[in-house]
Amino acid sequence: MSYILLLMSWALFYFIHSVLASLKIKRNIHRYMGKGYKWYRFFYALISLSLFVIIFFYGATIPTVILFPTGDFGEYMALMLSGIGTIILIKAFKFFGPLRFLGLPLHNDLHEPQELIVQGIHRYLRHPVYLALIFIYLGFFLYMPTTVSLVHLVALIIYIPIGIYFEERKLITIFGPAYEDYKKEVPSLLPKFTR
């Protein structure tokens, strides 16, 4: 039962994450909040981070089963994968910064000119943050191969195609043909290294 609750918690987290990031919801909230909307991204990040931490802490309270012994090689692989994921994450944040991602400084993202980022790591794949998370979660699972960390990983893998679908609908609305052309040329998660 605890694993089902954990999976449902992730489903709720990803649902809230996608809904609050949608243009329709953001525009409705902007109409309601007016000038106060500049706080939206900050509170969105705060809610997401809080739920994320709560879910991981809840997972840590669940009695779990070790699925296989790790050993030195497994630990090295885990650290290597997590390291690769962290590097990809840093590269992905290079063009807009982690503080901007957290909504700082406070800003109204609906009224600011948007730039389609196609340089750096975005030249090779459209969703580097999702790829980074796969590496990090997989590394975490190999380092701690328990049923709980497997649920964390499975929930992420189930969500990623859904998240990409809704994110790309929003990006096509914002950037139009420019994003559609980018989408045709650049793979989603697995780089081709031919550009």
| 1 exposure class (CB count in 10 Å sphere: 0-12, 13-18, 19+) | exposed
pTM comes to 0.91
Long-range Cβ contact pairs of 116-122 (< 8 A, separation 24 or more): 116/171, 116/175, 116/178, 116/179, 116/182, 118/182, 118/186, 119/95, 120/91, 120/94, 120/95, 121/88, 121/91, 121/92, 121/94, 122/92, 122/95, 122/186
The reply to whether 191 falls in a domain is no
**Rounded distance, CA 130 to CA 165, Å?**
12
Quote the tokens at residue 82. Answer: 């997590």
Question: Looking at residue 86, which CATH number applies to its domain?
Answer: 1.20.120
CB 191 within 8 A of CB 125: yes
Label residue 166 left, alpha or beta by phi (over 0 means left) and psi (-120 to 50 means alpha): alpha
- Per the domain annotation, does 137 fall within a domain? yes
For residue 137, the 8-state DSSP code is: H
180 within some domain: yes
Label residues 46-81 b or e (16+ Cβ within 10 Å = b). eebeebeeebeeebeeeebeeeeebeeeeeebbeeb
Over the stretch 112-160, which tens digit does the pLDDT of each residue have? 778 898 999 999 999 999 999 999 999 999 999 999 999 999 999 999 9
Residue 99 pLDDT class (50, 70, 90 cuts): confident
Is 72 inside a domain boundary? yes
Q: Which of 80, 64, 32, 43 is nearest to 145 (CA)?
A: 64
Could you tell me the residue range of the domain that residue 41 belongs to?
2-185
Domain count, the chain: 1
Tens of pLDDT, residue by residue over 36-89, are: 898 998 999 999 999 999 999 999 999 989 999 989 999 999 999 999 999 999
Residue 192 lies in a domain: no
90 within a domain of the structure (yes/no): yes
pLDDT above 80: residue 98: no
Q: How confident is the model at residue 193 (pLDDT cuts 50, 70, 90)?
A: low
Does 152 fall in a domain?
yes
Residue 51 lies in a domain: yes
